[in-house]
Structure 1
Amino acid sequence: MTWDLRFLGTGAAHAVELGSSAVVLERDRQPLLLVDCGPDTLDRYVDAYGAPPPALYVTHVHMDHVAGMERLFFRLWFDEALRGRTKVFLHATLLPWLQGRVADYPGALAEGGVNYWEAFHLVPCTRGFWHEGLWFDVFPTRHHVQGTSYGLALRGSFVFTGDTRPVPEALVTHAANGELVAHDCGVIGNPSHTGVDDLEREYPAEVRERMALYHYGSFADGETLVSRGYRIARPGEPLALPEPHPPRPTAG
């Protein structure tokens, strides 16, 4: 069995040429879970797989990570075979924010009679969630206001930080078993995002060697990160993952 993390887009919010940051966990080349859904993500996903996603995890609700959910709603609602089947996983504290971003506009359809979430299968979580026989850990990150962003980890396989400052306290737990670490990183950090100097200050070399950096500002910025000795994720690129560890018996 093969496992991959395919990056549909790798850009910061302004880096439209790189696509909105989003990844897909693949098992034997088949999509298992989409992480984030920005303005262009659905098009990139359908181009890659031919159909909308069966499951989506939302790291946080900035529009470059959730704006595509409006189009996804219409795609699902008007296909009876898909309506209500796509699972949406997110930390429970994000639900009011996501509701305000994508679901509160008066009338999901002009004709009325439809609630936004009827097109989906909403699954709020706290510590993590089960999906396709796998336990995914959810952990808080450092992006703007505390309690508004959460990363994702599959033990033994990968960690996806989402937009964040460095989170060494989380990686001590969630990147302790050889996982690939997909980490937010630009050339220069700021109060909400990691810079390459932050990586070198906050993480040991062994963890940095397992990183794939994304959410950078341009193609040129990506090459600058490469010149600093880092691997970057590139749009459309799948990265091979280690086999996930079996779920812990006490998980869930």
Structure 2
Amino acid sequence: MGWALRFHGVGNASAVELGSAMATIERQGRPWLTIDCGAEGLTAYLAHYGEAPRALFVTHTHLDHVAGFERLFVDGMFGGRAESTRLYVPAHLVPLLHQRVGDYPNVLAEGGANFWDAFRVIPVGDAFWHDGVRLETFETRHHWPRTAYGLRLRGSLVWTGDTRPIPETLAKMADACEVVAHDCALRGNPSHSGIEDLEREYPDDLLARCVLYHYVGVVEGQTLKARGYRVADPGECLALAEPTAARAIPFDATDSAPDASFPA
């Protein structure tokens, strides 16, 4: 298997038995990029891989998506991995994430440490590079403007994060036959999609590519499946197409070395 998406949790903030919504893009069976870090989702991640994530993308800062960060901080600071975990954060979320998880007056009783010492924080805009592959981000409709973002691995996966329907955005960001992992419960609300919202807003070909997550409970998931939709289960691993995203050209430092024939 080349590329895959493993769901660690698929539930909403109340569906503890389903785990907090969190997933990892795998490459050749190994974790490549993890999306969000909720408490239950992180527990499932650790149980499966046996180690903490090395690279994460944050969609938004509601606690069911970031409550695992204190455990990651402890692992980084006391597990000898300080600054080794890459953390890709949409630039508008950086202050919100700091307020949620990083702004504590003395993060270690011993002193001498800042919360972000445990991470390599990389603010990102519309696109960023990870492991030589270009990923794209896009704003979603969740609770308040510029507070929630989705992720695209072109040709392979679109992860909406928590959102209301975003037909205009997905017409652009899911136009290469990607699997679309989409927020969806049986009934929507001002911050989340319901199945009737998606049926009203999205064309059939897009719905056919959707895998639904962030629902209320097991029974609700079964109801969505009975309506003919693909619904993610906790622990499910979904095969993905080979990405068509841009790849970085290997950089050779000697290519940019000054020419010795010219004075410096």
* TM-score range normalised by the length of the shorter chain: over 0.9
Correspondence for 1:83:
82
Correspondence for 1:136:
135
Correspondence for 1:106:
105
After superposition, the C-alpha distances for 1:48-107 in whole angstroms (9 at most, x for unaligned) are 111111101000000000010011100111022x21110000100001110000010111
Report the Cα distance in structure 2 between the residues aligned to 1:32 and 1:59, rounded to whole angstroms: 16
For structure 1, the residue ranges without an aligned partner over 5 or more in a row are: none
Report the Cα distance in structure 1 between the residues aligned to 2:128 and 2:70, rounded to whole angstroms: 24
Report the Cα distance in structure 2 between the residues aligned to 1:204 and 1:232, rounded to whole angstroms: 18
For the residue of structure 2 that corresponds to 1:32, the secondary structure is strand
Report the Cα distance in structure 2 between the residues aligned to 1:32 and 1:246, rounded to whole angstroms: 15
After superposition, the C-alpha distances for 1:186-221 in whole angstroms (9 at most, x for unaligned) are 000000000000111111000000010000000000
> Which amino acid counterpart does residue 35 of structure 1 have in structure 2?
I
For the residue of structure 2 that corresponds to 1:229, the secondary structure is coil
> Which amino acid counterpart does residue 45 of structure 2 have in structure 1?
Y
Report the Cα distance in structure 2 between the residues aligned to 1:212 and 1:124, rounded to whole angstroms: 28
Decide whether the 8 Å contact of 1:156 with 1:178 is kept in 2.
yes
CA shift for structure 1 position 46? 1.3
Correspondence for 1:235:
234
Cα RMSD (Å): 1.0
Decide whether the 8 Å contact of 1:10 with 1:22 is kept in 2.
yes
After superposition, the C-alpha distances for 1:133-157 in whole angstroms (9 at most, x for unaligned) are 1111000000001110000000000
Correspondence for 2:157:
158
CA shift for structure 1 position 248? 7.3
CA shift for structure 1 position 246? 3.8
Report the Cα distance in structure 2 between the residues aligned to 1:158 and 1:168, rounded to whole angstroms: 16
Correspondence for 1:145:
144
Decide whether the 8 Å contact of 1:91 with 1:124 is kept in 2.
yes
Correspondence for 1:3:
3
> Which amino acid counterpart does residue 235 of structure 1 have in structure 2?
P
Report the Cα distance in structure 2 between the residues aligned to 1:16 and 1:218, rounded to whole angstroms: 9
Within 5 Å, give how 1:63-212 maps onto structure 2: 63-80=63-80, 82-212=81-211
CA shift for structure 1 position 40? 1.8
Correspondence for 1:48:
48
Aligned identity (percent) is: 53
Report the Cα distance in structure 1 between the residues aligned to 2:39 and 2:23, rounded to whole angstroms: 14
Report the Cα distance in structure 2 between the residues aligned to 1:42 and 1:161, rounded to whole angstroms: 19
Report the Cα distance in structure 2 between the residues aligned to 1:141 and 1:243, rounded to whole angstroms: 25
Correspondence for 2:246:
247
Decide whether the 8 Å contact of 1:42 with 1:72 is kept in 2.
no
For the residue of structure 2 that corresponds to 1:40, the secondary structure is helix
For the residue of structure 1 that corresponds to 2:89, the secondary structure is strand
Correspondence for 2:255:
none
Report the Cα distance in structure 2 between the residues aligned to 1:100 and 1:171, rounded to whole angstroms: 30
Report the Cα distance in structure 2 between the residues aligned to 1:132 and 1:161, rounded to whole angstroms: 22
TM-score by length of 2: 0.92
> Which amino acid counterpart does residue 202 of structure 2 have in structure 1?
Y
> Which amino acid counterpart does residue 127 of structure 1 have in structure 2?
D
Decide whether the 8 Å contact of 2:77 with 2:118 is kept in 1.
yes
Report the Cα distance in structure 1 between the residues aligned to 2:8 and 2:94, rounded to whole angstroms: 24
For structure 2, the residue ranges without an aligned partner over 5 or more in a row are: 249-264
Report the Cα distance in structure 2 between the residues aligned to 1:221 and 1:246, rounded to whole angstroms: 35
For the residue of structure 2 that corresponds to 1:138, the secondary structure is strand
